Structure formats: C-alpha cells, structure tokens
Amino acid sequence: MNAKQVLPPDCSAARFARALDDFASVLGEGAVLSAPSDLAAYRDPYSPLPNEDPGAFAPSAVLLPASVAQVQDALRVASAARLALWPVSIGRNLGYGGAAPRQRGTLVLDLRRMNRILEVNPALAYALVEPGVSYFDLHAHLRREGIALWIDPPAVGWGSVIGNTLERGFGVTPYGDHAAMQCGMEVVLASGEIVRTGMGALSGGTAWQLHRDGYGPGIDGLFMQSNLGIVTKMGIWLMPAPETVLLCQASFARESDLETVVDTLRPLRLAEVVHGPAVIESAVRWAAGVSARSDWYDGAGPMPATALQAMIRKLDIGWWNLRFGLYGPAALVQARWRIARKAFGAIPGARLRAWPYDAAGVASAPPDSAGALGLLGVPGLSAMRMLAWCGGDGAHLDISPLCPATGADAMRQYLLVRDRAAAHGFDYYGGFTAAPRCLHHIFAAIFDRADPQQRSQARALAHRLAGELGAAGYGLYRAHLDLMDRVAAQQDFNGHAMLRLVERVKDALDPTGMLAPGKQGIWPRGRRPRAQGGGDN
C-alpha cells in the first residue's frame, strides 16, 4: 500500500484490498487499476481546487468492465463490499470534472471497453451503441462502411456518444440537441437488473430505436445527468447525409449588436429557416481558434477594449460572430439562405459569407475551420486550442447558464459574465448556442493550472457566477463537480420539491447509494446536505 493511496469513504485499507482482489477475480487483473500512475488520468484534469486539496475528487480505483455481465459482476462485488461506483462512458466530461468522481474515494466504473457499434440502420437513420463508442468511432464507422448518415459531433470529438448525450451535450447540426435525438436505452440498475426503456421493453419489439418513450411512463429522462442507473446501450438518431450544405457566417461590428442578433435569430429559428443550433461567438472565442492571446496582448488581467478592437480588425472578424449550417436539397438551402441573409444583412455593419458544399465536398472545410467541421458533421479536436489561449498549462472551467432567446436576456447575461470575469482577471471567452426558445450560454474561464492564483480566481469566479446567475433566474444546465451541490440547491421551488422527488426515486432504485454519490447534487440517504423539508413521505 502506498502512503498516497486514496481510500473509499469509511473503508479500511485491508477491506479495500480485499475488494480489489474480488473485483479482479470477476473482471480480470488488467481491468482493475489502483496504482497512482494509473489513476492520474481519472482526476479532474482542470481542477480549480487549491494545492492543499488536490484530491477532493480523486478516485480510489478504476474498474474496466468489458460487458454488461461484467458491469453486473462489478455491482455485485461493490454491493458486498459496500463501495460506491462512479460510472463514466469514456470520461471526457472536461471542463466539468472529467472522469473524476464527486466524492473522494469513489471507484470509477469506466465503460470504455464496451465500445461496440451494435447496429446502424441506414434506412431508418439510427445507431445503437455502447458507452465506449466515441464520436470519432461512429463517424469513422459510417465513412468506412459507406453509410450515408451523419453524426452530430459536440465541440470535441473524442467523447462518448452516450456520455455526451446523458450529460445533455449538444452540437450544431439540426440534430444538435443530443438528448432529443436519443431513442431507447438499456440500463443496469444498482440491483444489477437490466431494463430496456421505451419500446425496448417489448421483447422482439421493432420500435426500440424508432419511437421515444413507449407505453406508460417515460423513464429515459431519469438516466440523464443522473445516478439512478448505468446506461449500457443507447439508440441515437442520425441525420441522413444532406444533398447539399451551406456554411453561413456573419460578423457583427459592435459589442451591443448581441441584442439585435439574438432578436433577429429567434424568429428565424422558430420558423425553421435556420434549422440547426446557430452559434454566436465572442471575438475571443473565435480568436482562440486561430491565434494566441500573446499575439494581441501581454498584460495581466482581461484584455482591454483597445487590444480587443485591434485583434478584431486584424483577424477581420466581428465583436460577435454567427455561424450556422443549412442542409438539404439545394433549392431549400438557397431559399433559407436568401431569407436569413436579408434578415442579418439589415443589421448595420454586418458582413455575411457562405460556403457551399455538395455531398462529395463535405470532407474539406473553409479557411477558418475551427468551428466548421462540426457543422459538417465531422468530429474534431480543434476546440482544444482554447487551452493555449493564455499560455502555461492551459485549463478551463465552464459556466453554462440557460438564457431565454431574447436580446435583452442575452445582453444581461453577457454583461454580468463579462464584468465578473474581468473582475477576476479573465477574458470573456464565450458564446451562445441557439435553440428556438432558449440559448445555451457557455463561458469558459481559461487558466494556467500550474498557477495557484489563477486556479483560485477561476474557482471564485465560477462560484460567484453560479450564484449571481441563479439569483437572476438563470439556471445552469450542467455544472462542474465543485459546483454540483450549489446548483442543485438553487432548485428551491417549494422546499426543493423536485430534488426531494428525485431523492425518493434514488432511495427506491439504489437504497444503499452505490451509484455516483453526489452526482448533480443527488446524494444517498444520510449524506444529504439539505434539511429534508416534508421528509421522505
């Protein structure tokens, strides 16, 4: 045993060692990792925590089951040893804690070895995948097999299709709302029971991947951002390869244009003229894809407006930059673009461009390709360039409030985030991804993780923003491990009634709290931070 070993809560080194032996006996020796060098990859890669507390989210071990049966085996051993597991599909939930568990010492159940693409149906346009299948994997499979279906990749392509979908991640094609494109799950409960949801509940059923929910209550939502079960298979709808694509881009000159841009975009999204999530990016977010901060400014603290303006001129971009794709038969795409071009062109100072692609040309990309690959259904890693923005050992911590799709709300959130970020020394690296009625406002504090002062400021900023945004009625759709309890506590309607309901479901499905304690603020009985107004009745 190593002096630096992390143990599960309330577990002696001896009991833990016996449990690891038991796990190895059912999973195989190579499928149980406990050496500190092996566990390093399962810590929060961008932890904002202070040096004296680097292991707050450290796992005690990692289990790598290769099958549903081994997931059941792992649950059986964990139950007997009274140990909790933190399931991850691949663990690329970067910016929110990576593969690290909320509670120090929880064992990570890493499902990456379950990486089969079980079915792709070209006619009905869906895939059935296991948790270890990444967006890269699925994209490569479709290309290799010559199947004319597109994936919708999130910003970074190495993540798990299931993992991203369960966290309600999104992309930028018309299939960008990943949770809405999920259809049918297989879930292993804490008891080890295997459940198939929706029409998968019918043995030999023909609609498991075709019809969301089924007969009776719909339970799929229960397993999103959740610790109520382990999703081992998931159906995902795929977009038939469009006949043509037009990548559309508009830049807007003034900081205050955000309001008009949002109010112009909303009716176009509602009328399906712009039929995928459009992205409105700040100048810094755009610039980080093609340059480093030191190219523009060398000082500490946020870039001053003069440096920002110089950067914007030199890069020939806007203060705000809009991107979206149009997809389908050429006549439809052209009709959509004429309408959108006219609408955005009416904003003073707007500049618009568009790049057409036919089915054969989709593998290439326009000159500024940072955000374009995703619009073409191609997974990439270029979003990781953000880490080099500030130099040093780059890391980011994301704050993701939901924003009503009105210009007034977007401006209010932007100014609040911009000013608080500046107060803590950060540039506004952010953007809005637009569903018809609601925007995902994503801000990233980019910091040097080797610098304790920057880490501390990033953490302070995140907590401050979560608090101030929540108080203004703007909830976060997702949160870093360090913020999970705080955001859960904001769900305060009627004495946290929704959380208490979920806790009752938790107690019913996982009475001993084996699965992912603390995930999204849901703790097992006995570990709950809030007073239980109304009790468990």
**Residues 479-498 interacting with its own copies (rule: CB under 8 A):** 479, 487-488, 490-494, 496-498
Quote the least distance from Cβ 402 to its own copies, whole Å.
5
Quote the least distance from Cβ 119 to its own copies, whole Å.
13
Residue from 22, 220, 398, 427 in contact with its own copies (CB under 8 A): 220
Each residue 429-458 as x (binds its own copies by CB under 8 A) or -, in order, gives: ------xxxx--------------------
Q: Which is nearer to its own copies, 395 or 411 (CB)?
A: 411
Q: Tokens 């259809």 belong to which residue? A: 183
Quote the least distance from Cβ 467 to its own copies, whole Å.
13
Q: Which of 477, 486, 525, 530 is catalytic?
A: 477
Interface segment toward its own copies; rule CB under 8 A; list 303-311, 334-342, 360-368, 456-464: 334-342
Residues 306-341 as b or e (16 or more Cβ within 10 Å = b) = ebbeebbeebebbbbbbbbbbbbeeeebeebbeebb
Q: Which is nearer to its own copies, 257 or 485 (CB)?
A: 485
Distance of alpha carbon 322 from alpha carbon 331, whole angstroms: 23
Q: Tokens standing for 458?
A: 């990033």
Interface segment toward its own copies; rule CB under 8 A; list 44-52, 157-165, 284-292, 402-410: 402-410
Cβ–Cβ under 8 Å, residues 252 and 350:
yes
428 classed as catalytic: no
Residue from 225, 256, 369, 456 in contact with its own copies (CB under 8 A): 225
Which residues, numbered 358-397, are part of the site for its own copies (CB under 8 A)? Answer: none
Our finding on whether 195 is near its own copies (CB under 8 A) is yes
User: Three-state SS string across 344-392, please?
Assistant: HHCCCCCEEEEEEEEHHHHHCCCCCCCCHHHHCCCCCCHHHHHHHCCCC
Residue from 10, 203, 316, 526 in contact with its own copies (CB under 8 A): 203
**CB neighbour list of residue 491: distance below 8 Å, 6 or more residues apart:** 475, 498, 499
What number of other Cβ atoms are within 10 A of residue 43's Cβ?
21
477 classed as catalytic: yes
Residue from 35, 271, 346, 450 in contact with its own copies (CB under 8 A): 271
Distance of alpha carbon 441 from alpha carbon 412, whole angstroms: 12
Our finding on whether 537 is near its own copies (CB under 8 A) is yes
478 classed as catalytic: yes
**CB neighbour list of residue 367: distance below 8 Å, 6 or more residues apart:** none
Residue from 3, 29, 37, 204 in contact with its own copies (CB under 8 A): 204
Phi, psi (degrees; rounded to nearest 5) at 446: -95, 125
Q: Which is nearer to its own copies, 70 or 400 (CB)?
A: 400
Quote the least distance from Cβ 227 to its own copies, whole Å.
8
Query: Of the candidates 74, 73, 45, 50, which has an alpha carbon nearest to the alpha carbon of residue 62?
Result: 74
Quote the least distance from Cβ 391 to its own copies, whole Å.
33
Residue from 135, 237, 389, 414 in contact with its own copies (CB under 8 A): 237
Interface segment toward its own copies; rule CB under 8 A; list 104-112, 118-126, 251-259, 523-531: 118-126
**Applying CB under 8 A, what is the total number of residues that bind its own copies?**
107
Q: Which of 42, 46, 96, 357 is catalytic?
A: 96
Cβ–Cβ under 8 Å, residues 87 and 112:
no
Partners of residue 326 on adjacent β-strands: 246
| Helix or strand holding residue 404 (H, E) | strand 402-404
Which residues, numbered 272-301, are part of the site for its own copies (CB under 8 A)? Answer: 272-273, 275
- Residue 410's alpha-carbon distances to 24, 116, 467, 470, in angstroms, are 52, 41, 18, 15
Which residues, numbered 121-180, are part of the site for its own copies (CB under 8 A)? Answer: 123-126, 168, 174, 179-180
- Residue 78's alpha-carbon distances to 85, 99, 240, 537, in angstroms, are 8, 19, 43, 29
Residue from 68, 116, 147, 240 in contact with its own copies (CB under 8 A): 240
Query: Of the candidates 391, 363, 400, 501, which has an alpha carbon nearest to the alpha carbon of residue 447?
Result: 391
Residue from 50, 267, 348, 361 in contact with its own copies (CB under 8 A): 267
Residues labelled as active-site residues: 96, 477-478
